[in-house]
Structure 1
Amino acid sequence: MQDLIWLAGLAALYLAVLGLLRLYATTSQGVAR
């Protein structure tokens, strides 16, 4: 059960980093333009 919780936390962290990278890419593109 603890492995499942750890996996869920890892997936959430991965999605958060992915979202931040996407947000950073869009904002940097907006600044470039």
Structure 2
Amino acid sequence: FGWTEDDMASLYTKTADRKRLAIEAIKKLQKS
């Protein structure tokens, strides 16, 4: 059993989404 391309892609996407959401949250805090 090993990593598949789909597993790596979904893992990367989840990390990228989390990073993007964090950046958006920071921007919202800075605006107010």
Quick check: TM above 0.5?
Answer: yes
Name the TM-score, length of structure 2 as normaliser: 0.77
Correspondence for 2:24 among 15, 18, 22: 18
Gaps (5+ residues) in structure 2? 1-6
Residues matched between the structures, number: 26
1:7 aligns with 2:13: yes
The runs of 4+ residues in structure 1 deviating greater than 3 Å are none
Name the TM-score, length of structure 1 as normaliser: 0.75
Which has the larger helix fraction?
1
